[in-house]
Amino acid sequence: MAELAINDRGLSRQVTAWDRLKVDRNWLSFWFMLPAAAFLILFLAYPLGLGVWLSFTDARLGRDGIFVGLENYEFLWDDSTFWLSVFNTLLYTTVASTIKFAIGLYLALLLNENLPFKAIIRAVVLIPFIVPTVLSAIAFWWLFDPQFSIISWSLKKMHLISSNIDFLGDVWNARWSVIFANIWRGVPFVAITLLAGLQTVSPSLYEAATIDGATNWQRFRYITYPLLTPIIAVVMTFSVLFTFTDFQLIWVMTRGGPVNATHLMATFSYQRAIMSGYLGEGAAISTAMIPFLLAAILVSWFGLQRRKWQQGESND
Amino acid sequence: MSYFTRRTLIKGGTAAAAAGALTGPALLDWAKAWAQNAPWKPEKGAKLSMLRWKYFVQSEDDAFVKLIAAFSKATGVPVDISRESYEDVQPKASVAANTGTGPDMFWGLYSLPHLFPQKCVDVTDVADYLGKKYGGWVESAVTYGKSGNKWIAIPVCYSGNMINYRIEASKKAGFSKFPDKSDAFLEYAKAMKKNNTPGGFALGHASGDGNGWVHWCLWSQGGNAVDKNDKVIINSPETAKALEYAKALYAEMIPGVASWNDASNNKAFLAGEINWTDNGISIYVAAKKDPSKKQIAEDMDHAYWPIGPVGKPTELHLMYPVLAMTYTKYPQACKALMAFMLEADNFNPWIESAQGYLTHCLNAYDKNPIWTADPKNTVFGQAAKRSLTAGGLGSVGEKAATAIADFVILDMFANYCTGREDVKGSIAIAERQLKRIYR
CA gap A297, A238 in Å, rounded: 9
Task: Judge whether B66 and B27 are in contact, CB under 8 Å.
Answer: yes
Residues B13 and B115 in one domain: yes
Task: Please state the rounded mean pLDDT for residues A189-195.
Answer: 93
pLDDT attached to residue B147:
87
Residues B359 and B369 in one domain: yes
Nearest to B344 by CA among B363, B317, B372: B363
Rg, C-alpha atoms of chain A: 27
Residues A153 and A9 in one domain: no
**Omega of the bond leading into A258 within 30 degrees of 0 (cis):** yes
Range of the structural domain that residue B42 is part of: 6-160+318-387
pLDDT higher at B399 or B200:
B200
Residues B188 and B229 in one domain: yes
CB contact set of A279 (below 8 Å; sequence gap of 6+) = A54, A59, A60, A61, A65, A273
CA gap A12, B38 in Å, rounded: 79
* Residue B187: pLDDT over 90: yes
Flag whether B392 is in a domain.
no
Angle between the N-to-C axes of helices A133-143 and A150-157, in degrees from 0 to 180, rounded to the nearest 10: 30
Residues B307 and B428 in one domain: yes
State phi, psi for B260 to the nearest 5 degrees: -70, 140
Give the tens place of pLDDT for each residue, B29-86: 888 888 888 889 999 999 999 999 988 788 899 999 999 999 999 999 999 999 988 7
Q: Does A146 contact B260 at a Cβ distance shorter than 8 Å? A: yes
- By CA distance, what is A80's nearest residue in B? B429
Q: The domain spanning residue B183 has which CATH number?
A: 3.40.190.10
Helix (H, G, I), strand (E, B) or coil at B116: coil
Flag whether A155 is in a domain.
yes
Residues B229 and B271 in one domain: yes
Query: What is the nearest CA distance from A107 to chain B, expressed in angstroms?
Result: 33
- DSSP output for A70-96: THHHHHHHT-HHHHHHHHHHHHHHHHH
Flag whether B295 is in a domain.
yes
Kind plus residue range of the DSSP H or E element containing B324? strand B318-324
Flag whether A246 is in a domain.
yes
Strand ordering across the sheet containing B48-53: B79-84, B48-53, B105-107, B318-324, B154-159, B358-360
Residues A140 and A24 in one domain: no
CA gap A259, A282 in Å, rounded: 19
CA gap A126, B234 in Å, rounded: 51
C-alpha angle A197/A200/A203, rounded to 5°? 125
First to last CA, chain B: 54
Query: A301 pLDDT band (50/70/90 cuts)?
Result: confident
CB-nearest partner of A271 from B254, B406, B418: B406
Query: What is the nearest CA distance from B367 to chain A, expressed in angstroms?
Result: 37
Query: What is the nearest CA distance from A277 to chain B, expressed in angstroms?
Result: 7
Residues A301 and A208 in one domain: yes
Residue type, A198: L
Q: Does B259 contact A258 at a Cβ distance shorter than 8 Å? A: yes
Give the tens place of pLDDT for each residue, A66-91: 899 999 999 999 998 999 999 999 99
pLDDT higher at A310 or B121:
B121
Q: Does B204 contact A63 at a Cβ distance shorter than 8 Å? A: no
Q: Rounded to whole angstroms, what are the CA distances from A105 to A114, A190, A195, B242?
A: 16, 7, 8, 53
CB-nearest partner of B258 from A64, A148, A259: A259
Residues B287 and B345 in one domain: no
Residues A30 and A77 in one domain: no
CA gap B120, B328 in Å, rounded: 10
CB-nearest partner of A169 from B116, B256, B415: B256
Q: Does A146 contact B204 at a Cβ distance shorter than 8 Å? A: no
Residues B27 and B62 in one domain: yes
Residues A81 and A29 in one domain: no
* Residue B134: pLDDT over 50: yes
Helix (H, G, I), strand (E, B) or coil at B277: strand
Residues B54 and B150 in one domain: yes
CA gap B306, B180 in Å, rounded: 4
Chain A residue numbers touching B274 (CB-CB < 8 A) = 147
Query: B99 pLDDT band (50/70/90 cuts)?
Result: confident
Query: What is the nearest CA distance from A159 to chain B, expressed in angstroms?
Result: 19
Ranges of H-type helices in chain A: 2-12, 17-23, 25-40, 46-54, 71-77, 80-112, 118-125, 127-130, 133-143, 150-157, 171-198, 203-211, 216-219, 225-244, 248-253, 265-270, 279-305, 307-311
Q: Supply the mean pLDDT for chain B.
A: 89
CA gap B191, B174 in Å, rounded: 8
CA gap A22, B288 in Å, rounded: 77
Flag whether A124 is in a domain.
yes
* Residue B17: pLDDT over 50: no
Residues A32 and A106 in one domain: no
3-state SS, B60-88, equals HHHHHHHHHHHHHHHHCCCEEEEEECCCC
Flag whether A256 is in a domain.
yes
- By CA distance, what is B274's nearest residue in A? A147
Query: What is the nearest CA distance from A165 to chain B, expressed in angstroms?
Result: 8
Residues A34 and A97 in one domain: no
Q: Positive or negative, the Cα torsion across A51, A52, A53, A59?
A: positive
Give the other-Cβ count within 10 Å of A94's Cβ: 14
Residues A28 and A171 in one domain: no
Residues B361 and B274 in one domain: no
Residues B189 and B245 in one domain: yes
Query: A165 pLDDT band (50/70/90 cuts)?
Result: confident
CB-nearest partner of A275 from B95, B256, B406: B406
- By CA distance, what is B400's nearest residue in A? A276
pLDDT attached to residue B156:
95
Q: How would you classify the pairing of strands B105-107 and B48-53?
A: parallel
Q: Supply the mean pLDDT for chain A.
A: 87
Flag whether B394 is in a domain.
no
Q: Does B259 contact A80 at a Cβ distance shorter than 8 Å? A: no
Give the tens place of pLDDT for each residue, B339-397: 999 999 999 999 999 999 999 999 999 999 999 999 999 999 999 999 999 889 998 88
Residue type, A94: T
Flag whether A161 is in a domain.
yes
What total number of domains does chain A contain? 2
Helix (H, G, I), strand (E, B) or coil at B322: strand
pLDDT attached to residue B10:
41
Q: Rounded to whole angstroms, what are the CA distances from B201 to B110, B209, B266, B334?
A: 22, 7, 11, 40
Residues B153 and B168 in one domain: no
Chain B residue numbers touching A64 (CB-CB < 8 A) = 98
Task: Judge whether B274 and B198 are in contact, CB under 8 Å.
Answer: yes
Instruction: State yes or no: ipTM above 0.90.
Output: no
Chain A residue numbers touching B93 (CB-CB < 8 A) = 62
Flag whether B396 is in a domain.
no
CA gap A110, A104 in Å, rounded: 10
Q: The domain spanning residue A93 has which CATH number?
A: 1.10.3720.10
Question: Helix-strand-coil percent breakdown of chain B, rounded to 5?
Answer: 50, 15, 35
Q: Does B406 contact A258 at a Cβ distance shorter than 8 Å? A: no
Give the other-Cβ count within 10 Å of B313's Cβ: 19
Torsion, Cα of B335, B341, B346, B351 (10° steps): -160
CA gap A7, B288 in Å, rounded: 91
pLDDT attached to residue B16:
40
| E-state strands within B179-317 | 276-279, 300-303, 315-316
Q: How would you classify the pairing of strands B387-388 and B315-316?
A: parallel
Q: Positive or negative, the Cα torsion across A301, A304, A308, A313?
A: positive
| E-state strands within B24-172 | 48-53, 79-84, 105-107, 146-147, 150-151, 154-159, 162-166
Q: Does B257 contact A169 at a Cβ distance shorter than 8 Å? A: yes
Flag whether A59 is in a domain.
no
The pTM score is 0.83
B357: which DSSP letter?
S
Residues A218 and A162 in one domain: yes
Range of the structural domain that residue A91 is part of: 73-311
State the burial class of residue A73 (Cβ atoms within 10 Å of its Cβ: 0-12, 13-18, 19+). middle
Residues A106 and A174 in one domain: yes
Q: How would you classify the pairing of strands B358-360 and B154-159?
A: antiparallel
pLDDT attached to residue B6:
42
Q: Rounded to whole angstroms, what are the CA distances from A23 to A11, A12, A28, A37?
A: 17, 18, 7, 20
CA gap B149, A233 in Å, rounded: 65
CB contact set of A118 (below 8 Å; sequence gap of 6+) = A111
CA gap A265, A243 in Å, rounded: 11
Task: Please state the rounded mean pLDDT for residues A23-38.
Answer: 87
What total number of domains does chain B contain? 2
Percent of all residues in chain B with a pLDDT value above 90, rounded to a whole number:
72
Test mutation, B118, B259, B398, B433, chain A, max A CBs within 10 A: B259
pLDDT attached to residue B114:
86
Interface of B with A (CB under 8 A): 87, 90-91, 93-99, 115-116, 203-205, 254-261, 264, 267-268, 271, 273-274, 398, 401-402, 405-407, 411, 414-415, 418, 420, 429, 432, 436
A57: which DSSP letter?
B
Residues B433 and B294 in one domain: yes
Task: Please state the rounded mean pLDDT for residues A142-155.
Answer: 89
